[in-house]
Amino acid sequence: MSDSIRAAVMTGPRRPLEHRQLSSPRPEPGGAVLETVASEVCGTDVHLHHGHLAGVPYPIIPGHVNVGRVLETNGPARDVEGRTIEPGRLVTFYDVFGVCGSCWHCLVAKAGTRCPHRRVYGITTSADEGLLGGWAERIEIKPGVRLLPLPDGLSAEDFMGGGCGAPTGFHAVERAGIALGDTVVVQGSGPVGLSALAFASLAGALRVLVIGAPAARLEAARRLGAEDTLDVAAARPEERVAWVLDRTAGRGADVVIEASGNPAAVAEGLEMVRDAGRYVVVGQYTDAGDVSLNPHRHLNRKHVTLSGCWGYEFTHLHRSVQMMARFKSRFPWRRLITREYRLADAAEALRDMERLAVVKALIRP
């Protein structure tokens, strides 16, 4: 086993990526080491590079959602069914650790994604603490981090085509409480929006309409079963609202899911949802500014249910992976991978994601 591991390190906002040689980790008791098979570049990595997230302990090794092959464990690793995970097995893992299970948020509010002790691989972990991100040849699995074997028939590419967007979109769909026959609008056509589209269909939506950009992402939306798509850049805000009303007998959609990252989309989305409909905001992962709402018109009189959706829990990762395996021919997530990049080209991958030249950028360490 080689002792030297290559990693791409983000040293700070707007600073060039550094390529470092780090020593190969040995698993702690109850932990494991993975050989990285695939990592990704997502919108969050672009935000990290812009310095838009508070409390990030630069230098970091980005790459929160990953697939790897188990190289070594220290003590038996088991899945949630109690089955042993042997070396050589292809796995992903829940990228969150440190959720304490004993604080007010965990126990009283039952809101694990808001536990103040929650930490995330590739985002709130420093490169000085070890190989805790996927832009590296190996990944250290801390004790307590849950490994999730990919089901038979689900390849690394099938899963990574959705990547972190899949469990995030799954969680948003769960929050939306979609009923059989609902009409759903998704604002945003990145991996979160596209995954929300697929899972909304599986949840029983009659039809899903997607508003986003650029053309390649809208084409992907149609491939995943969107009934209709609208290029956000080709229409003014009131035209986008009219586009939805035209398709819903003037009433608006039963459910609107915001996955765009643009604060203005929230005021606009509230115009697109019907009276007594549901609106889920999942795309505002960073603070991109304020918008003004009309509380009478948008909320109170509309009798709307408005939900935020922060991160995801193990249940969403587990269930989304099983669903991706079961429905992969209907929803070809792997086709969302526009391009693969070697670790040495991570900066280029980051740039391509920044200018939305790719739907999903895969990193192949």
User: Which residues are at the interface with Zn ion (CB under 5 A)?
Assistant: 42, 44, 100, 103, 106, 115, 164
User: Is the CB of 42 or the CB of 270 nearer to Zn ion?
Assistant: 42
Task: Provide, rounded to whole angstroms, the least separation between the CB of residue 117 and Zn ion.
Answer: 5
Which residues sit opposite 148 in a β-bridge?
Answer: 92
**Closest C-alpha among 354, 331, 317 to residue 64:** 317
Q: Which amino acid does the sequence have at 177? A: G
Contacts of 32 (CB under 8 A, 6+ apart): 70, 71, 72, 73, 74, 77, 85, 141, 147
User: Is the CB of 167 or the CB of 277 nearer to Zn ion?
Assistant: 167
Contacts of 200 (CB under 8 A, 6+ apart): 173, 176, 178, 182, 184, 186, 208, 255, 257
Task: Provide, rounded to whole angstroms, the least separation between the CB of residue 311 and Zn ion.
Answer: 10
Handedness of CA 11, 167, 120, 340 (dihedral sign): negative
Q: At what angle do helices 191-202 and 165-176 cross, to 10 degrees?
A: 50
User: Is the CB of 51 or the CB of 87 nearer to Zn ion?
Assistant: 51
User: Is the CB of 253 or the CB of 358 nearer to Zn ion?
Assistant: 358
Task: Provide, rounded to whole angstroms, the least separation between the CB of residue 208 and Zn ion.
Answer: 22
Task: Provide, rounded to whole angstroms, the least separation between the CB of residue 282 and Zn ion.
Answer: 12
Total count of residues recorded for the chain = 365
Beta-strand relationship, 32-41 and 67-73: antiparallel
Integer Cα distance of 42 and 96 in angstroms? 16
The continuous run of DSSP H or E covering 241 comes out as helix 237-246
User: Is the CB of 198 or the CB of 270 nearer to Zn ion?
Assistant: 198
User: Is the CB of 73 or the CB of 124 nearer to Zn ion?
Assistant: 124
User: Is the CB of 106 or the CB of 280 nearer to Zn ion?
Assistant: 106
Task: Provide, rounded to whole angstroms, the least separation between the CB of residue 321 and Zn ion.
Answer: 15
User: Is the CB of 100 or the CB of 291 nearer to Zn ion?
Assistant: 100
**204-215: b or e for each residue (b if 16 or more CB lie within 10 Å)?**
ebebbbbbbbee
Task: Provide, rounded to whole angstroms, the least separation between the CB of residue 122 and Zn ion.
Answer: 8
Q: What is the DSSP string of 280-324?
A: EE-S--S--------IIIIIITTT-EEEE--S--HHHHHHHHHHH
Task: Provide, rounded to whole angstroms, the least separation between the CB of residue 164 and Zn ion.
Answer: 3
Task: Provide, rounded to whole angstroms, the least separation between the CB of residue 181 and Zn ion.
Answer: 31
